[in-house]
Amino acid sequence: PLSAGTTYKSEILISDPNNGFTSLQNSSPTFGYDSLMNQYYPHNAYLCKEQVHTFNFNAKDPDGDSLAYSLATPLDCHAFNWPAGPVTKAAPYDTISWASSYNTNNPLGIGSYMYIDAVTGDLTSYASTIGVYVFSVRIEEWRELNGVWGKIGEVVQDIQYETIDCELNNAPTITIDEHLEDGIFIDSNYSMLIQLPYYDTLQLSYDAFIEREMCLKIAARDLDSNVNIFQQILKDSVSVYCELSLFNNGLDSTSNNATFFNDSALSNVNSNFCWTPLCQDMSGSPYYVYFYSKDISCFAYHTSILEVEINLKMPTNYPPSITEMTDNAALLDSAYTDTIKLKYTVEVGKKICYPISAKDEDIYNSVSDYLSLQIQSFKNEEDVNVQQYDFVGDENFSLAISDLCWKPTCIDMEYSPFTATFISRDDACISDTAVLQIEFEIIEPTTFEIDSVIPNVFSPNSNGINDYFEIPDVELNYCFDTDFSIKIFTRWGKKVFEDNKVNFRWDGTTRGGSLCADGVYFYNIESPLPVAPKKGTITIIR
């Protein structure tokens, strides 16, 4: 305005013997290029009366030097002879003389202010009076040389601005225009807020469901029309962006599959925020996402903030059911939350198999819950475990099945009763379980299945082959209170062996430990067991 010009001064340090260097390669910083306005800085050199003006000088240094910003006193003008050009002189250069109420740190006069951030280069000003003003921005270059930081150059730019009357610049609005779930439109409850100006952070809240994509269409609008110094009618440019670093509240953002693309346009802009929450995200709920709408006015920037609280929800999940199917199959279709407790009686020495089943009818996103069925323990109250049993367990959708097979022994019977604890667990985000406990009381057999033929000869010579006289295929299962008795005599009626257990073993010695001579011996068995014969002979051959 008013044929205003811009003056630059650049000083570059070439050598400094005091600091140990004599040749320095350095490029001056530049004020950069504004791609939005298609101009080099500065542009649109005017301020709006009684409105805050913000501007970033966006200086770049090709050498990566550290830059420091400050206000400076503008240089004075020299005589200009047309067409020969201005009169030049060597440094030091003359500076202007400030009028009353004006100075380097307040070039706009009474009731106004101007300051610049030394680190970012953000210049903020407020002018209360219409007029033409001049000020300077100094950019100092600092570099570490031989371990010492030193100033190696500076660029000073004189800038002339005019303060004019402008339309009031309002902050842009921002809201959620549409809400979709798995691509299906849900609502547009907040879309009308795009028309309402506000100055505080807009806070909205939404529910999101695990493993369902939530998409929020974030819309921003700025309808200001500002008259610039060329009397052109312009709409503010507006951008919308999101800081996902604030989103995850400590969680890894990549695990949450959240997407949002920053965008900008004239007057209206929108972009979709989409997220498919996963099970591991439940523990961090609620989450907060912050969206920012920033207008790009010719003279001032305003930013509006949208805070979206996202509460993660899980579909209704019912616990699985679990039971033993032989006698209690109806429990598989029952709803319960406590441990199921059953009680059975088993006979020592007889193999049992009980089918254990777990069931879960929950379906979410067209997928049934995945079940696991396991046995946790099989022991008595003193933590004595069953000697041997078979239970593989199972994993499957909706229904898991596995058999508990077990042949109680006399040793098991000694520590009876035993409790088998089964657990079924679904794969919901907050997993539910079902527990089944079966108590087994071990009793003596009511019928015997022994039908062995007793041998009539053995050779107790310690070679590991046929060293004992015993009833074959008889296990330890029949060793309690079976009224069993065996007595062995010589041909002259002398008793050499006696036992009351069906799993007896005679090694061919007397009760005193002496070897019995080879020959024929007679035995007599008294027992309800169906062993045959009850009386007979046994011959020792070594």
Q: String of b and e for 57-82 (b: at least 16 CB within 10 Å)?
A: bebebeeebebebbbbbbbeeeeeee
**What pLDDT was estimated at residue 94?**
78
Same domain, yes or no: 13 and 149? yes
87 and 117 part of one domain: yes
What residues of the chain score a pLDDT lower than 70? 1-23, 32-45, 77-91, 167-169, 198-199, 223-257, 296-301, 335-337, 446-452, 473-482, 528-533
Q: Are 294 and 427 part of one and the same domain?
A: no
d(CA 214, CA 138): 49
Q: Which residue has the tokens 């809400």?
A: 179
Q: Tokens standing for 220?
A: 């921003």
Cα separations in angstroms, 18 against 143, 484, 506 = 15, 113, 109
Are 193 and 280 in the same domain? yes
Q: Show which of 420, 443, 466 is a domain's final residue.
A: 443
Q: Where in 24-112 does DSSP place strands (E)?
A: 33-34, 39-40, 46-48, 52-56, 66-72, 80-81, 85-86
2 within domain boundaries: no
Please check whether residue 513 is in contact with residue 507, taking contact to mean a CB–CB distance below 8 angstroms: no
Contact between residue 305 and residue 202 where contact means Cβ atoms under 8 Å apart: yes
The answer to whether the CB of 172 falls within 8 A of the CB of 294 is yes
Residues 261 and 392 in one domain: no
Q: What is the pTM of this model?
A: 0.52
Does residue 137 sit in the same domain as residue 235? no
Do 474 and 409 share a structural domain? no
153 and 28 in one domain? yes
Same domain, 309 and 192: yes
**Are residues 14 and 155 located together in one domain of the fold?**
yes
Q: What is the pLDDT of residues 158-175, one digit of tens each?
A: 888 888 877 666 778 888
The CATH number that applies at residue 89 is 2.60.40.10
At which of 143, 164, 185 does a domain end? 164
Q: Is residue 365 part of a domain?
A: yes
Contact 382, 436 (CB under 8 A): no
* CATH code of 510's domain: 2.60.40
Is residue 298, in this structure, part of any structural domain at all? yes
In a domain, 540, yes or no: yes
Q: Does 341 lie in the same domain as 308?
A: no
Domain assignment of residue 221, given as a range: 173-313
Domain contains 1: no
Predicted confidence at residue 57, as pLDDT, reads: 74
Instruction: Identify which of 87, 81, 78, 159 has the alpha carbon closest to the alpha carbon of residue 116.
Output: 159
Q: How many domains are there within the chain?
A: 4
327 and 300 in one domain?
no
Q: Within a domain: residue 117? A: yes
Boundary-marking domain end, from 443, 462, 487: 443
pLDDT of residue 77: 66
